[in-house]
Chains A and B, each alone.
Chain A
Amino acid sequence: MKLTTTFAAGALCAAALAPIMPASAHHSTAMFEWGKEQTLSGTIERYEWTQPHTFVWIMVPKGQGGETQEWGLEGMSPSWLGRRGWSLHTLHPGDKVAIVYYPLKDGRPGGFYVRVTMPDGKEMEALPRRAPASAPQGR
């Protein structure tokens, strides 16, 4: 019960907050439409648990003919995600997931992943939900 209450309160707080600022990133976010949430669903091709960023390669259905297109989504680093409940075993090839992401500005099939709805319906956050007032800003 306590856990559920905490989650509900967290969701409410999160909803009230402005788009997330990257307290942690390896680089400028100029190539993404930062804060503009889009959703895609597909099948995980590969999850790269690497520095300076994790990377999701996912096959996404395209059109009605059963064709798929590969998308590449960058995410926070193992240094950040690994200390917040993620691991290299969080996503597996073949997993069917829905991913909220910030798209690339230039329209290529890529972006930055924000949260993932796992095959069991559980949601995994992949970005800080709110920006600390004076966060040290990195790459």
Chain B
Amino acid sequence: MIRPVLVLAASATCIAAVLSGSAQAASAAAPEDAAARAHAYDALAKLPDWSGVWDPTFSPGQRPPAQPKLTPPYAAQYAKYLQANRTTPGLNFVSAVSSCVPPGVPMSMQQPYPIEFLFTPGRVTILIETDHIIRRIYTDGSAPPADPDPSYQGTSVGHWEGDTLVVETSAILPETSPLMGINGHSDKLHVTERIHLASPDILEITTTRTDPAVFLEPYTTTASYKRHRDWKIMEYVCEQNNHDALDRNGNAAFSLEHKPGEKQ
């Protein structure tokens, strides 16, 4: 009967010591941390103003991008897509995005719905309306992880060159599309985005893709986004009412089934 009491007493003493120790540490460090935090947040005010919501469906009439120079397997895939564009009106790119699989970088930035930016110390976060995609771009100078798991949005680090944010992204899932008209790429796909204000309310993003399995030379496109200060990002749950999932052969399809629970 004695031992448990002793243990309890000892534990209580330890807990008290730990609690008082951490309380002292917190109170000792707080003013310094608060100053550092305030300084880090103050520094954000020096960054360019990218507030508001940015619409990518706006175009100031840019020239179409140059044709990509592709390796044979991807050239064949792309030629098939271009041929479909010549013969069939409409949008002829079939991808798993129809089945509510999210697009990866860089296509996630070129969906027809708007995006917004958040600046916090050491990080830029891009919120994409389509599929609620979140891109975390670490700008604290840390190196990208050595062996990251591939993901749809990849692993991004960024740095500022004046008013231009330069984002480097890799470890992008190979089943995603690097370009309209092409499905798939290797695990070597690397995407560089240079993001800057071309004019007060036009954001320009120049995107360069390199992947020796797909591109014979780096392929660069430029997209413009128009600022809408009064827009709000909406909810976007692709599974809510999708009638366009691909069929079992991966072809475009269309369902006239009602949503579950609705009258048939």
Contacts and interface: CB of A to CB of B under 8 A. Distances in A.
A104 B97 CA distance: 20
Interface stretch (A3-11, A29-37, A60-68, A118-126): A29-37
Given A23-B57, A136-B112, A51 B240 contact: yes
Contacts of B231: 83
Interface stretch (B15-23, B161-169, B251-259): B251-259
Interface string A92-110: 0000000000001000111
Nearest to A19: B89
Interface residues of B, number: 49
Contacts, number: 150
A22 B93 CA distance: 12
A51 B98 contact: no
Interface in B92-109: 92-95, 97-98, 100, 103
**Chain B interface mostly:** loop
B202 to A, nearest CB: 13
A32 B90 CA distance: 9
B61 interface: yes
Contacts of B243: 53, 55, 72, 74
A72 B256 contact: yes
A48 B90 contact: no
Interface stretch (B26-34, B62-70, B151-159): B62-70
Given A21-B90, A136-B223, A27 B238 contact: no
B236 A79 contact: yes
